[in-house]
Amino acid sequence: MHPWVGEMAAYSFGWREVGGAPSVASGGKGVRQALAVLGAEAAGAPERAGVAAAVAVELVHTFSLLHDDIMDGDGDRRGRPTVWKAYGTGPAVLAGDALFALAVETLAAEPGGAGAVRTLSVALGDLVRGQADDLLFADRPWTGPERVRPDEYRAMAEHKTGALLGCAAALGAALGGACPETVAALDRAGRHLGVAFQIVDDVLGIWGDPRVTGKPVHGDLREGKKTFPVLVALGSPMGGRIAGLLESGDAPETAAALIEEAGGRSAAFAEARRHITAVETALADVPPTARAARAADELRSLLDYLVRRDV
């Protein structure tokens, strides 16, 4: 990369500070990389076969975060300024574009790279679709026939979050030589995992412990985000009162209590569990081999970690 663009990319991964000094900042959970490597193992291949997929998907994920932070106006990520805050909007867009280009180059260099690039492109198209829906949700009313429905939210979450998780597992399997049925099963598993992950994130965004999440309590309510627990609660008899509080921005504590009383929190956990069951169903379609069974067990451990975070 161009040295300046490379510095911004390294900053986005938590490896460097502004100016290029080494950093020990958090670089994220590594979920997509783990899925890619486990996807290769599920195909019966050595875990090394999934490394290119892991790199490419994480590059695309980081690219999407750089652009998302600009679109959402978020000034902080993982406890420090976002790239656009640290370097400027134009440079952050450029760094994101460079990461995407590097992801394509990484896959194109692999045997079967053309098919891998197509798979990544489909996932990226879904991601853009989900992000577009999420942005449009912000302008829709809290109540009435134009309000956002839970089923619309599920579709958005599958595209915005699930597509790239599914792509990670599917790409790892494809580069590991898996049959199309195994690749498709792992893609389904990742997509359902993404929805469950997003919905648990929604719960954390309202009721999470700030010491764990790094975000203020009731943060999503203060920002007026249309998350799954909120959308469910708005469809209850208490929906009008909740909508009034959300529209005014007053008393997020009261809104959180009403959303929980209206069943929003419990419905969110039930929905997450439904998608976890769908992940298990998809994993059952992966041909049973010793390596695949071990990979499936590790995927289940990853599930446990992602959807049972402290709230």
Q: State the CB neighbour count (10 A cutoff) for residue 122.
A: 15
**According to the model, what pLDDT value does residue 27 have?**
67
**According to the model, what pLDDT value does residue 212 have?**
66
240-289 pLDDT, tens digit each: 999 999 998 888 999 999 999 999 999 999 999 999 999 989 988 887 77
**According to the model, what pLDDT value does residue 311 have?**
45
Sign of CA dihedral 167, 66, 228, 152: negative
**According to the model, what pLDDT value does residue 44 have?**
83
DSSP percent split of the chain into helix, strand, coil, nearest 5: 70, 0, 25
Question: In the chain, which stretches have pLDDT less than 50?
Answer: 310-311
Pair of tokens at residue 227: 């998350």
Q: State the CB neighbour count (10 A cutoff) for residue 128.
A: 15
**According to the model, what pLDDT value does residue 77 have?**
86
pTM flag (> 0.85) = yes
H or E, element range at 307 = helix 290-307
Q: Are 1 and 98 in contact (CB under 8 A)?
A: yes
Within 138-162, residue ranges assigned H as helices are 150-157
Tokens 């009034």, residue? 244
Pair of tokens at residue 112: 């079967």
16-26 pLDDT, tens digit each: 999 999 998 77
